[in-house]
Amino acid sequence: MLDPLDISLIITTLVAGFIGAGVFPLIIKLSYKHKFFKSSNSRTVHGKYVSTLGGIGIFLGLITGLSAASFINQDLTLMTKLFGLIFPLMIVFILGTWDDLHNLRAHEKLMLQGLAAVTLLTFHPIAVTDFGGFLGIHEIPLLLGYSLSFLVIMTLINAVNLLDGIDGFAGLYVVLLSIFMAVTGYLMQVHYLQIIGLASVGVLTPFLYYNMFYRRKLFMGDSGSLVLGLLTAFYVLSFIKEVRVQSDVFSHPLIWAYALVALPLIDLMRVIFIRLRARRPLFSGDKNHIHHAYLNMGLTHNQTTFIVMQLTLSLWLFVNWLEFLNPFWHFVATWFLIFALYVGPIFIYRKTGKFKFS
């Protein structure tokens, strides 16, 4: 017989999925009726008439699914975990929707993102205050731990936001990450990770259909990508915290954390390097992201998305296989794999002009 947790896992997935499946086509219809289209810029590759309000459906499906799971479980601790995530998500959702309708300045975005980060760290004790001996570092001062965790949240919010440049790219990445977290939550019996992971998969599945395959495409916009960025940061910090308690599941949690967010981080690092080298403003838009580089090889949006996601899964499998190494060499091997898998194909193609996936 199913217990309340099993029922809540099923219900949260279905509710989030059905809400998304119902809201996404409505958003497309209203966007075309009332001309809710965001102007194209130097980093967008979509046409003029594409709705960028898909984040509304993502947010509604996510919070409805989490609320349903809380109601079914009737567990105060679990409810605190779930609703403690909803409030910071609401902040970045409002920020993203505002930006989708009226382009905000960079400092305005950073202020609200900072508020969301502080709210998340206030409601959840997920700040990293112990490196567990990694590179010889153990416990660090509380203030330093919160400052580093704040920086992680701010970085990942913006890094995932930058991934949202072509069909399915950011959405499918977060689906893979959510599945990983749901499985990790099952292995470690961390129920909130299971619920949040499955709710995310539930709502993003119909979104990916309308984003990648539907005739009138739907983009998530900043209202969706900022929500997914904060969710990614929550996943990583929660993962580190929980693995510290149950170290028998993963030997090197910090290295796994790097690997899990390698795609948005390497993309962000690469873009910053290119802009600094060209002496251009860091917040200027361009088409120098990893997905743009793969498009330049002659791949379609969907081909680029599926190939890079396969590289992401390959990275995670290699990191798992290399856990027998000591932490230092595991760290070195992971960063070598990150550059080889994501940047290697770009480098080879630009040097030879002959590298092809097909």
Nearest to 83 by CA among 168, 176, 184, 192: 192
Sign of the alpha-carbon dihedral angle for 279, 296, 171, 23: positive
Walk along the chain (358 residues) and give the pLDDT tens digit of each residue.
678 888 999 999 999 999 999 999 999 998 888 776 665 555 555 555 678 889 999 999 999 999 999 888 888 788 888 888 999 999 999 999 888 777 778 778 889 999 999 999 999 989 988 877 677 777 889 999 999 999 999 999 999 999 988 889 999 999 999 999 999 999 999 999 999 999 999 999 999 999 999 888 899 989 999 999 999 999 999 999 998 877 677 888 899 999 999 999 999 999 888 888 877 877 666 788 899 889 988 888 999 999 999 999 999 999 999 998 988 899 999 999 999 999 999 888 887 766 554 4
Do 92 and 55 touch, CB atoms closer than 8 A? no
Residues in contact with 328: Cβ distance below 8 Å, sequence separation at least 6, in sequence order: 135
Alpha-carbon 194 to chain mean position? 16
Structure tokens of 196? 């949040």
End-to-end CA distance of the chain: 49
Helix/strand/coil for 38: coil
DSSP class per residue in 231-247: HHHHHHHHHHHHHHH-T
Q: How far apart are CA 325 and CA 252, in angstroms?
A: 10
| Closest among 69, 77, 37, 95 to 224, alpha carbons compared | 95
d(CA 261, CA 308): 13
d(CA 44, CA 49): 12
Measuring CA to CA, which residue among 243, 100, 231, 96 is closest to residue 174? 231
The pTM (predicted TM-score) of the whole model is 0.92
Bridge partners, 130 (sequence order): 139
Extract the tokens encoding 93: 């959702």
pLDDT at 40: 52
Element (H, E) at 198: helix 191-212
Give pLDDT, residue 283: 67
Distances 198 to 58, 73, 99, 164, 175 between C-alpha atoms, Å: 13, 15, 28, 21, 9
From the list 25, 89, 75, 345, the residue with the least C-alpha distance to 217 is 25
Name, in order, each residue with C-beta under 8 angstroms of 222's C-beta and a sequence gap of 6 or more.
52, 55, 95, 96, 97, 99, 100, 161
170 with 164: CB under 8 angstroms? yes
